[in-house]
């Protein structure tokens, strides 16, 4: 846990990557409002399943062998992204129609969208081949790249699902 000095240093030296991540979270919120709860849940399920499949997908190593770090990252994120999109489309077909959910509340959508974007960012950090490719601020590393942060981003959407998919 960072102390007050570390937090003050991070806050006074905010970098552009923090601003970009904040913009990404805001875009995720508006995506949540636009897409609705059912699509958010489908994408969340697809993130979990894609992460599990990607970790056990051994065919990616021959694709990335002998390539530069940036190419490796782009190939890995593309394969992961395709898996998320395909699975989200499949999950959207099997999840109940949005009309079967309780009336959508903005705070539930914001919570789910925020946690989904956080999980995606944390997974993207896990897909980076090494730390020398990009350098991020200590705040971004603490919030998304650390193993503890990854665990919390992986865990927190699960209890949020209980608040968002309650039936009438």
pLDDT score for 130: 63
| 59's tokens | 């065919």
Residue 29 lies in a domain: no
Residue 30 lies in a domain: no
Range of the domain at 104: 42-164
Q: How many domains does the chain have?
A: 1
Residue 138 lies in a domain: yes
Given a cut of 90, whether residue 89 has pLDDT beyond it is yes
Q: At what angle do helices 37-55 and 16-35 cross, to 10 degrees?
A: 120
pTM over cut 0.85 = no
Given a cut of 70, whether residue 52 has pLDDT beyond it is yes
Cα–Cα distances in Å, from 166 out to 5, 49, 54, 95, 120? 42, 22, 30, 14, 24
pLDDT score for 41: 87
The percentage of residues in the chain with a pLDDT greater than 90, rounded to a whole number, is 20
């Amino acid at each position: 846990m960072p102390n007050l000095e570390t937090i003050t240093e991070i806050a006074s030296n905010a970098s552009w990557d923090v601003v970009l991540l904040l913009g990404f979270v805001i875009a995720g919120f508006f995506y949540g409002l636009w897409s609705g709860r059912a699509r958010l849940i489908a994408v969340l399920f697809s993130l979990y399943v894609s992460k599990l499949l990607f970790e056990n997908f051994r065919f990616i190593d021959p694709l990335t062998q002998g390539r530069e770090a940036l190419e490796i990252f782009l190939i890995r994120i593309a394969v992961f992204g395709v898996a998320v999109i395909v699975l989200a489309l499949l999950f959207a077909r099997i999840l109940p129609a949005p009309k079967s959910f309780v009336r959508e509340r903005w705070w539930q959508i914001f919570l789910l969208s925020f946690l989904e974007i956080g999980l995606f960012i944390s997974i993207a950090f896990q897909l980076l081949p090494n730390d020398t490719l990009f350098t991020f601020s200590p705040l971004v590393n603490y919030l998304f790249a650390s193993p503890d942060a990854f665990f919390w981003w992986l865990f927190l959407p699960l209890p949020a699902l209980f608040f968002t998919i309650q039936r009438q």
